[in-house]
Each structure stands twice: as structure tokens, then as C-alpha cells.
Structure 1
Amino acid sequence: MDARKALVLFSGGQDSTACLAWALSRFSVVETLGFDYGQRHRIELDCRLRVRDEIRAAFPEWGARLGEDHVLDLSLLGQISDTALTSERAIEMQANGLPNTFVPGRNLLFLNFAAALAYRRGASVLVGGMCETDYSGYPDCRDNTLKALQVALSLGLDAPMTVETPLMFLTKAQTWALTQRLGGDALNTLIVEHTHTCYLGERGERHDWGHGCGQCPACALRRQGFEAWRQGGAAAELPL
């Protein structure tokens, strides 16, 4: 067990829940951090508390290591963003090849604020669900971006700050496989029932893979990953 304290960037979605489980299986103390930035799918802020409660109840050993939760108001990000995640508009591709769900600087800002909070809380590990395998092409999800930011944060704080991205090179099918390995059927059932991924904030219809509109890019990735994992094969095999 790693004696360091970790701070997980926790939105209440599938990926951040996988990261929370990953951190709880490794670190002695794990705290969580969410952001309210005027997101269109801010229902995730309610889901994240339910997920924490469900994890604590289903996994007492993890629950003993699950520390405080924090939420930061970053509404300024919504004020300077003109995206489909922060305003009521159709989700579509842009001329630069990125979907208009891309919020410029979001992960950079998140990690800077997370590092400041971690420093105050005595944590030296930041855990995020960024991934450059199955994703929408966001440049602030790339491994090189996060490695560069880790160096900048450690220098700026004059203290080691490790940025862990356990999903960076996993497909969505492999993410389902990871949570199955970490917590078995209980964890994956929890993810299906209680996490939120849908960009439109839809919680009505319950699909095999969870709640959501079923059409937005986030739902499509989650659905495709779930189906590939359930079918098995190379797509769902975890790297050694």
C-alpha cells in the first residue's frame, strides 16, 4: 500500500469512478474533487455523491480509505467557453477536427486547481481519467500534455506532484475490464446504475451500459466499450 495521499479528479462518470477504484486499491488515503463549471450535464455533481456512498457501502476496505470530498466553483470557465458542454447547442464537429464539446483549457485548469488543493491537503498524487485511446481528440487529454503539466506543477509548487492517468492507453472496453478486475461484478454494476457520462445530462432511459441519451459522443463511446468488453476478445484484454 502506497502511504501517499491521493486526490482523484472525480466527476461521477465511468472513467473517474474507475480512477477512484484504482486509487483506493493503491493509496492509504484518497480524497475526491469535483468541479462546477456551468456544465450542461451538471447532474453529474449529484451522481458523484451517490457513487461515493455506494462505493463506501459495497467496499468497506476502500471506504475506510475514502477521505473528504471537495467541489470547486469554476463557473468562470463556463463564462469564457462557447461549447456544447456549457450551452444548449447541437453537438457537432468543427473545422479544426474537434467536436464542439471541447472546452479549451479545461483539464489544464482542473489540474492546476487540484494541485493547489492537494498541496494544502498534504496530497502529492493527482489521479485523472484522461485518455488518448478512446476519446474525442481533446489535446489536453494527451499523455505528453499531462507529463509536461506534471513537471510544471512540481516546479511551481517546489514539491513533487505526480499526475497519474491509469486510463491513458486503455480502450473503453479495457476500462470495463479494469473495473471488473478491481471490484468484480459489484463495481461494474455500480458503474452501470449510478455513474453519469451523457453530455446531455439524460438520466431517464436505462440501457445495458447505464443511463444516457444513447446518441451523444460520450454515450456512444461508453456503449461501444461495454459491448466490446461483454463480447470479450482482444479489445477487452488489459495490457500486461
Structure 2
Amino acid sequence: MTQPSDRTDAALVLFSGGQDSATCLAWALARYARVETIGFDYGQRHAVELSCRAPLRAGLAGLRDWGARLGPDHLIDLTAGIGALGATAMTAEQAIVMTDEGLPNTFVPGRNLLFLTYAAALAWRRGLRRIVAGVCETDYSGYPDCRDDTIKAMQLPLNLGMQRRFVLETPLMWRDKAATWALADRLGGAPLVSLIVEGTHTCYLGDRTRRHDWGYGCAACPACDLRAGGWARWRSGQGE
């Protein structure tokens, strides 16, 4: 089997259909000549995010010269694997609460580690060196697999186990949600901000019936709180 060449000017973006991953996709499109996306169906309660992915990709392709840079999308079915590990409030109809370990019960153990492993396996086959993820530990839900130390540690076994020089890039790691909105504005101006407001999904409960200034959601779950708070701080900083 002929291996594809290592394209240092190409990237694979973990793209869920949410605000953070859409911003990361725009960030990658602004930097790399070729960008592919990967998403995961893991039985998430807010599976509506998956239906947002294609329209978002189409919208991003219409901005700047990004259409020429946007490559194929890949959707991976992990419903059997993650579902077999037990239900959480992210995958089942449960009230969202804090556990005795100090973590929200929306935490799916190992989820991002699995995502990165699958992404690296696909990147290996596609000849992509850079893997971009929208994880963050500045303004987040407290998940340990979103932390900088975890991502840095994960890069080593992926490189050793696949004999590649992957670079795990996390452009949002040290940005809070206000700074994430500001980054979207810098990357694509009002059209990109509008696309993210209208087209992305963040709400853990999968609610797209209620429209707010910052987008759709229940306005009560932790994800909505973070998104709404970041929007308010960003808009306040603009003097609006």
C-alpha cells in the first residue's frame, strides 16, 4: 500500500458542529492549504449537533478563499463503543449535576482520548500531520481530558504508536469564551460570527427551539451558561 506524503500544510479538525470546533475549523482554514474534518456520533444527547455540521461546512466554504481549502468530511460511528461504557448525562436523559469527584456528570470518561486516537488513525491514512481540537481549560466544564497537560501527554503515544510526527494543535486552550467569540470575529468578521450564532449547537440538552442573542439552547445547562456568558463579555468589550 502506497502511503500518502506527509503534508505539513494540511490539517484534520475535530469538528462536532459546536461553537468551539467551528471556530477551530475557521482558524485552520485561515492557515492551511488543505483542511479535512472528522466528527463522531457517540450517542450524544445533543446529537442535533451532527446535523449542523454540513451546513456549517458549506457556510465556511463561502467565506474568503476557504472553499478551495476545505477537503472531505469523515463521520465516525462510536455509538456501540462509548455507549457500552455506561450512561452519563451527556448520553442519557439525566439531570446535570456535580459528582462526588468534583466533575459534572456530563463527563464521558476517555471521550476526547478516543477522539484523538481515531483522528490520528485517520490522519495517518490521509497523510495529515496537524490535528486540531477545540479543547480548552480556561473557560470550560472541568473535563480532565480537555486540559493542556492531557493533550501534550497524548501527543507522545500517538506519535510513537503510529510512527508519525503529529502535532496536536489547540488554538482555544488558553482562551475563554469571550476570547473565542473575538477570535471568530478576527478570522471572518460579522459573517463568521453570524454563522456561528445561527448554525452551531452547544446546548447539552439538544434544545434548538429557543433563540438567544448568542444562538440556540436551553440557556440553563453548563454549556449554554459558558456560551452566553462569553457572548455577553465579548459584546460588552465592544461597547455594546
Equivalent residue for 1:69, pick from 54, 68, 73: 73
Q: Is the 8 A contact 2:42 2:83 kept in 1?
A: yes
TM-score (norm 2): 0.94
1:126-184 alpha-carbon deviations (Å, 9 max, x no partner): 00000000011110001010001111111111110100000000010000000000000
Instruction: Indicate which of 196, 204, 214 corresponds to 1:199.
Output: 204
DSSP 3-state at the match of 1:124: strand
Map of 1:236 onto structure 2: none
Q: Does residue 99 of the first structure (1) align with residue 104 of the second (2)?
A: yes
**In 2, distance between residues paired with 1:88 and 1:205?**
19
Q: Which amino acid aligns with 2:76?
A: L
* Cα distance in 1 between the residues matched to 2:109 and 2:201: 22
Distance 2:183 2:98 in 1: 30
CA distance in 2, matches of 1:54, 1:180: 15
> What amino acid is the match of 1:136?
S
In structure 2, which of residues 122, 134, 137 is the aligned counterpart of residue 132 of structure 1?
A: 137
Identity among equivalent pairs (%): 61
Q: CA deviation at 1:80?
A: 1.0
CA positional deviation for 1:3: 4.8
Between the aligned partners of 1:56 and 1:21, the Cα distance in structure 2 is 10
**Deviation beyond 4 Å, 4+ runs, structure 1:** none
Task: Provide TM-score, normalisation by structure 1.
Answer: 0.94
Looking at structure 1, the residues matched to 215 and 151 of structure 2 have their Cα atoms a distance apart, in angstroms, of: 29
Aligned residues of 1:3 and 1:28 also touching (Cα < 8 A): no
- Which residue number in structure 1 is paired with residue 146 of structure 2? 141
8 Å CA contact 1:81–1:104 kept in 2: the answer is: no
What's 1:217 paired with?
222
How many correspondences in the alignment?
231
Q: Say which SS state the counterpart of residue 221 (structure 1) adopts.
A: helix
C-alpha deviations, 1:182-214, integer Å up to 9, x for none?
Answer: 000110000000000000000111100000011
Matching residue of 2:9: 4
Determine which of 58, 81, 93 is the counterpart of 2:86: 81
Secondary structure of the residue that 2:33 maps to in structure 1? strand
Unaligned runs of at least 5 residues, structure 2: 1-6
Q: Is the 8 A contact 2:8 2:128 kept in 1?
A: no
- Counterpart residue number, 1:172: 177
Letter in 2 for 1:120: R
